[in-house]
Amino acid sequence: MPEQPFLLLLLLLLLLSSILSSTATTTVAARQFKEAPQFYNSPDCPSIVENHHRAEDNAEKPEADDDGIFLCSETAVHVAMTLDTAYIRGSMAAILSILQHSSCPQNVVFHFVASASADAPHLRATISASFPYLRFWLYRFHDSAVSGLISTSIRSALDCPLNYARSYLADLLPPCVRKVVYLDSDLILVDDIAKLASTPLGESTILAAPEYCNANFTAYFTLTFWSNPSLSSTFAGRTPCYFNTGVMVMDLDRWRRGGYTKKIEEWMELQKRMRIYELGSLPPFLLVLAGRIAAVDHRWNQHGLGGDNFRGLCRDLHPGPVSLLHWSGKGKPWARLDANRPCPLDALWAPYDLLQTPFSLDS
């Protein structure tokens, strides 16, 4: 029968597709990373005092008992990041850069947030293998908490539920963690993170981040938003400026007391009914907090190095000193390096890449 060869060909194509998909998944899961060197505190680093708080039930706790005194320490520098297999290579480079440039690396505590559906033991083992001395906790984020609120944006990567986890840090981390530095996975630091963490927030400010008041703020919202007086008036009485949510110093105590997660969710609910913005998790932050944050020097977020959200073309640094390089945008340095199409600034990321390649030589 004439349709039999066609059906046979179709079956072969489906089988080949399944094999290729399985191979790609195995390649991601089987990535091996080098062990990073251990970094030690300088003599003048403050000591971490013991406390009697405990981790929340959704946190994977470290095995070492003495690590518990760091969880709620106000002396430690608390860093929050999301963690997944797609960006794990960037996360590893970011961690290494933080430790390498910290004057008190043993006082840095990491709070990693992963999807509840992710392979948490694999993520934990990957981090522990490269950083066996690292003090970190892993928290499970249930996608269902936000998936019903997400609207499609201009780039599919921005629609991942984990991309919205930064809005839920105050709920995920233990109440005793009062202040964190939130960082994206596509960045590296070349300065001491303690300087960023010590940004003064004043008596009532919730958040600190570099502001960019020269950016076209109106472009972050649709004509539907600006043409509706009841919506556009949300910025009345403040001078809103764009800020990038990939680098933030957050007062979680004030966030909890002010119910800021709920405020962000309310704007996301409105977005589901009438399209008032196009760009993922950023606009709700701007709606709630733009014009109400503490300023941070621009050196702490040299962002946009990944180009725009469509083509990811190469970009230069902004004028001025640099403490943090951020590959926000579509182009990621590890992907461009693997494709042999790196941008000039990707060479600054490469020394922090811990991926074990067949040609790597252990020192």
Instruction: Domain ranges for the chain, please list them.
Output: 69-352
* Average pLDDT for 285-306: 96
199 with 179: CB under 8 angstroms? no
- pLDDT at position 7 over 60: no
Of the two residues 154 and 304, the one the predictor is more confident about is: 304
- Rg from Cα positions in the chain: 22
Closest CA to 187 of 107, 299, 77: 299
DSSP 273-336: HS----STTHHHHHHHHTTSSEE--GGG-B--TT--SSS----PPPSS--SEEE--SS--HHHH
pLDDT by residue (tens digit) across 98-118? 999 999 999 999 999 999 999
Of the two residues 347 and 362, the one the predictor is more confident about is: 347
- Non-local (6+) Cβ contacts of 94 within 8 A are 81, 183, 184, 185, 186, 187, 188, 189, 352
Closest CA to 156 of 363, 330, 338: 330
- pLDDT at position 10 over 60: no
Pick from 127-136, 152-161, 212-221, 315-324: least confident: 152-161
Instruction: Give residue 6's pLDDT.
Output: 54
The three-class DSSP label of residue 132 is coil
Pick from 83-92, 148-157, 200-209, 233-242: least confident: 148-157
Predicted model pTM: 0.87
Instruction: Give residue 287's pLDDT.
Output: 98
pLDDT confidence bin for 308, thresholds 50/70/90: confident
- pLDDT at position 362 over 90: no
Q: How far from the centroid of its chain's Cα atoms is residue 349's Cα?
A: 16
pLDDT confidence bin for 240, thresholds 50/70/90: very high
Token pair 């999301």 is at which residue? 82
The percentage of residues in the chain with a pLDDT greater than 90, rounded to a whole number, is: 74
The stretches of the chain forming alpha helices (DSSP H) are 3-29, 68-71, 88-100, 120-130, 169-172, 193-197, 223-226, 229-232, 252-258, 260-273, 282-289, 333-338, 346-349
The CATH superfamily holding the domain 69-352 is Spore Coat Polysaccharide Biosynthesis Protein SpsA; Chain A (3.90.550.10)
Instruction: Give residue 31's pLDDT.
Output: 65
Residue 211 main-chain phi, psi, to 5 deg: -105, 150
Q: Distance between CA 155 and CA 152 in Å, rounded?
A: 8
178 with 250: CB under 8 angstroms? no
